[in-house]
Amino acid sequence: MTITFMLLLIAKNHDIFTEICCLLQMTEGDDTLNGLELFEKGGAVMYVLVFCSFCVVSIGVERFLFYRHMSEGLTQFLARLPIALRNNGWESTLEDCEEHENAVTFLTAAGLKAALRGEDVNLALDTAYNEVATHLRAYLNYLGMIVTLSPLLGLLGTISGMISSFNVFSMQAGEPLAITGGIGEALIATATGLCVAIMALVIHTFLAQRLDEILSALDKASAVILAATGKAGEER
């Protein structure tokens, strides 16, 4: 009797578990379908916003890796640069620059090569600085553009959806849900545009901070090189 009761209980629980699983699968399917439907109801602007978000992520990853490469060992090299120029000489410091590749070593190598050839060190440093700064600032303007453009695209999609909603309301008088539902769907474009803009703003701010840190290190390195080469020129 007890065994029969346990078997009936297990069978009943199994049926309940099966029904719950089917219900969850139906719910997940409905959520996926609703998400796709909401995306499509956002209008053609949604595809542009997806492209903008892809550009933001791509630029963010590429710039992060590039900044990490250009700042690898930068702080340590800049700290020992004055001592190296004073104690080891220009040639030894130049060899050290060739072994380490970052923004400061590139600038230092350009200045020391000009000094060894008897050329204008200040001009060489300015040229190298501008070259490095150009590479560091690449693609950041696109992020700034997306920060401004994304909310405008979202607003455009919302306005287009509201125009369609008002047209539906004029044809279906006496059905207020037709216009309220249409406005709710149209606001999806604005929400998506704001999300893309916020993501782009955060990434742009982070990269701008890293850019300022590297450029500040370049300014310090330029001052050290000018001081070292200027003193050596006076002694000669």
Higher-pLDDT residue of 143, 45? 143
Q: Which residue has the higher pLDDT, 4 or 125?
A: 125
> Can you give the pLDDT at residue 26?
44
pLDDT higher than 60, residue 24: no
Q: Which residue has the higher pLDDT, 171 or 106?
A: 106
What pLDDT is stored for residue 23 in this prediction? 38
pLDDT in tens, 50-65: 999 999 999 999 999 9
Q: Which of 218, 224, 214 is nearest to 90 (CA)?
A: 224
Contact 73, 102 (CB under 8 A): yes
Q: Which range (21-30, 194-203, 227-236) has the least confidence?
A: 21-30
Residue 200 in contact with residue 143, Cβ under 8 Å?
A: yes
**Which span out of 25-34, 149-158, 216-225 was modeled with the highest average pLDDT?**
216-225
pTM equals 0.75
Residue 227: partners with Cβ closer than 8 Å, 6 or more residues away: none
Question: Quick one: what percent of the chain has pLDDT higher than 70?
Answer: 71
At 43, the pLDDT band (50, 70, 90 cuts) reads confident
Q: What is the pLDDT of residues 196-217, one digit of tens each?
A: 999 999 999 999 999 999 999 9
> What is the residue-averaged pLDDT of the chain?
78
